[in-house]
C-alpha cells in the first residue's frame, strides 16, 4: 500500500518534473531577490507618504513630502540643485563612451608589450571609487594638488576646484570619468577584436579611410559594445554617491549634491532625520531611472523576439 503510494507520488513528480523543476531552481534566488530588492521598492513608495524620524512612530502625511520637494524645486533649494546636477552628470558622464572608444582605437595595435599597456589603462576601473575619490581630492588640492602644479606651468591657477560651486560638480564628474572611460575602453577593445576584417577590406577598396571608415563600417559593428557602454554609463551616472560622499559631502554649501547623495543626507547623515522625505527623493530618482530601465528592457525584449 505505502509502496504503491510512494511509487505514485514519484511518478507524479516524474511526470511533472519539467514543470516543477524550474520553480525549484528559481525558488532560493527568487525569494532572496523579492525580499531584499522588489518588496523594498514598494515599501519605499509607501514610506514616502509618511513622516518618520527613524526613531519613533511614523505619521501619515499623504503627499506632503512631495509638496515640500516641489517647493524646494521652485525656490531653487537643495532639491533643485540635486536634480540639476543629476542632469549634468547624465550628460557629461556619457563622454566616457567616445573617450573609451578613442583610447581603445589608440591601443588596438599589436606592438610588443601592448597587452600590459591595455591592462594598465584598464586599471582605474578595478580601484574602489572611495580610493578614486581620495586620489582626486588630492589631485585638486588648492595648496599642493597636481592640477595646480600643472596649471602653474602655464602661469594659470591656482584653482580650488572642489571649493568652488561653479567647478565642483564638473571636478567630481571628471574623477568619475576616469574609471568609467577605462570600462568603456575595455568594451570597445573586445568589440574591435571581433570586427569583420573582410568588411574593412571591402571598405578600403571603396576608398573609405579614417573617420569615414570608423563611422560607416566600424561603429555599426560595435553596436553591441556601444549599447552596453551606454547602459553601464547611465546607471553609473545616476548612482554617483561614493565620489561625492568622499570628495565633498555635497559641499561647498550643498552645490555638488545629487539626488542619490541628498537622499542619504536627509535620511541618515549627521543632521538628517527625515526618512519619509528621503524615501520621496528616492522615488523621484527611481522614476528617472525607470525611464532608462524601460528602454533597456524594451531593447532586450526586441532582441529576444528575434531569436
Partner 1 sequence: MFPKPIEKQPRAAQITYQAMLPLALLLWLGPLLAVALFSVKPEADFTNANYWGMPSSFEGAFNYGQVFFNSDMPRYLLNSFFITVPTVIGAVALSCMTGFALGIYKFKSNLWIFFMFVAGNFVPFQILMVPVRDLTLELGLYNTKTGLVLFHIAFQTGFCTLFMRNFIRALPFELIEAARVEGISEWRIFWYVVLPLMKPAIAALSVLIFTFIWNDYFWAVVLTQGAESQPVTAGITSFNAQFRAAYQLMSAGSIVAALPPVAMFFLMQKHFIAGLTLGAVK
Partner 2 sequence: MHSMFKRTAMALVASVALTAPVAAELTGELRIFLDTSNPAPRATMEAMIERFQQQHPDLEIETTVIDREAYKTQIRNFLTADTPDVANWYAANRMKPYVDAGLFEDVSDLWAEAEISDNLGSTKGALTIDGKQWGVPYTYYQWGVYYRKDIFDELGLSEPTTWKEELANCQKIIDSGRTCYTIGTKFLWTAGGWFDYLNMRTNGFDFHQQLANGEISWEDDRVKQTFANWKQLIDMGAFIDNHQTYSWQEALPFMVKGDAAAYLMGNFAVAPLREAGLSDDQLDFYQFVAINPDVELAEDAPTDTFHIPANALNKEAARAFLRFVVSADEQTEINNGSNLGQLPVNAQSSVDADKFLQQGFNMLSSNSPGGIAQFWDRDAPAEMAKVSMEGFQEFMVKPDNADKILAKLERARTRIYDQ
Binding site for partner 2 (CB under 8 A): 51, 53-56, 68, 75, 77, 141-143, 160, 162-163, 248-249, 251-254, 268-274
Best CA proximity match to 226, nearest among 107, 108, 104, 97: 97
| Cβ atoms of residues 192 and 213 within 8 Å | no
Q: Which of residues 155-174 bind partner 1 (CB under 8 A)?
A: none
Quick one: DSSP state of residue 59?
A: E
| CA–centroid distance for 259 within its chain | 13
Cis peptide bond N-terminal to 260, omega within 30:
no
Closer residue to partner 2 in complex, CB, 233/256: 256
87 touches partner 1 by CB under 8 A:
no
In the complex, the smallest distance separating the C-beta of residue 236 from partner 2, rounded to whole angstroms, is 25
Q: Which of residues 245-264 bind partner 1 (CB under 8 A)?
A: 245-246, 259-260, 263-264
9 touches partner 1 by CB under 8 A:
no
In the complex, the smallest distance separating the C-beta of residue 53 from partner 2, rounded to whole angstroms, is 6
In the complex, the smallest distance separating the C-beta of residue 92 from partner 2, rounded to whole angstroms, is 22
Q: Which of residues 109-148 bind partner 1 (CB under 8 A)?
A: 109-111, 114, 117, 119-124, 126-131, 134-136, 138-139, 144, 146
| Residue 89 interacting partner from partner 2, partner 1, none (CB closer than 5 to 8 Å by kind) | none
| Residue 254 interacting partner from partner 1, partner 2, none (CB closer than 5 to 8 Å by kind) | partner 2
CA distance 63 to 280: 9
Grid coordinates representing 284? Answer: 523621484
Best CA proximity match to 181, nearest among 241, 123, 138, 220: 123
Best CA proximity match to 29, nearest among 38, 41, 16: 38
CA distance 285 to 279: 10
| Cβ atoms of residues 81 and 74 within 8 Å | no
Q: Which of residues 210-229 bind partner 1 (CB under 8 A)?
A: 213-214, 217-218, 224-225, 228
**What one-character-per-residue DSSP string does 21-37 give?**
HHHHHHHHHHHHHIIII
Closer residue to partner 1 in complex, CB, 61/192: 192
Closer residue to partner 1 in complex, CB, 74/119: 119
Among the residue ranges 29-37, 59-67, 75-83, 155-163, the one whose residues contact partner 1 (CB under 8 A): 29-37
Amino acid at each position: 500500500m505505502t509502496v504503491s503510494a510512494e511509487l505514485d507520488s514519484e511518478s507524479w513528480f516524474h511526470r511533472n518534473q519539467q514543470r516543477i523543476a524550474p520553480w525549484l531552481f528559481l525558488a532560493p534566488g527568487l525569494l532572496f531577490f523579492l525580499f531584499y530588492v522588489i518588496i523594498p521598492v514598494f515599501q519605499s513608495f509607501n514610506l514616502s507618504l509618511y513622516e518618520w524620524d527613524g526613531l519613533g512612530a511614523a505619521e501619515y502625511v499623504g503627499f506632503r513630502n512631495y509638496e515640500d520637494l516641489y517647493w524646494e524645486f521652485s525656490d531653487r533649494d537643495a532639491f533643485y540643485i540635486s536634480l540639476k546636477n543629476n542632469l549634468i552628470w547624465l550628460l557629461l558622464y556619457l563622454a566616457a563612451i567616445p573617450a573609451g572608444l578613442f583610447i581603445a582605437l589608440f591601443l588596438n595595435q599589436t606592438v610588443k608589450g601592448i597587452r600590459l599597456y591595455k591592462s594598465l589603462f584598464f586599471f582605474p576601473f578595478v580601484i574602489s571609487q572611495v580610493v578614486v575619490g581620495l586620489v582626486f581630492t588630492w589631485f585638486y588640492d588648492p595648496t599642493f594638488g597636481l592640477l595646480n602644479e600643472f596649471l602653474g606651468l602655464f602661469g594659470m591657477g591656482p584653482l580650488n576646484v572642489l571649493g568652488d560651486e561653479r567647478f565642483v560638480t564638473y571636478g567630481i564628474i571628471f574623477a568619475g570619468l576616469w574609471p568609467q572611460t577605462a570600462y568603456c575602453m575595455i568594451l570597445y577593445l573586445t568589440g574591435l577584436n571581433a570586427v569583420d576584417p573582410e568588411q574593412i577590406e571591402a571598405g578600403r577598396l571603396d576608398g573609405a579611410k579614417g573617420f569615414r571608415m570608423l563611422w560607416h563600417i566600424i561603429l555599426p559593428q560595435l553596436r553591441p559594445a556601444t549599447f552596453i557602454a551606454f547602459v553601464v554609463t547611465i546607471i553609473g551616472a545616476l548612482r554617483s554617491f561614493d565620489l561625492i560622499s568622499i570628495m565633498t559631502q555635497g559641499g561647498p554649501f550643498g552645490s555638488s549634491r545629487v539626488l542619490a547623495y541628498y537622499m542619504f543626507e536627509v535620511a541618515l547623515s549627521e543632521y538628517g532625520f527625515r526618512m519619509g522625505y528621503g524615501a520621496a527623493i528616492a522615488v523621484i530618482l527611481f522614476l528617472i531611472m525607470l525611464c532608462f530601465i524601460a528602454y533597456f528592457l524594451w531593447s532586450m525584449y526586441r532582441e529576444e523576439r528575434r531569436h
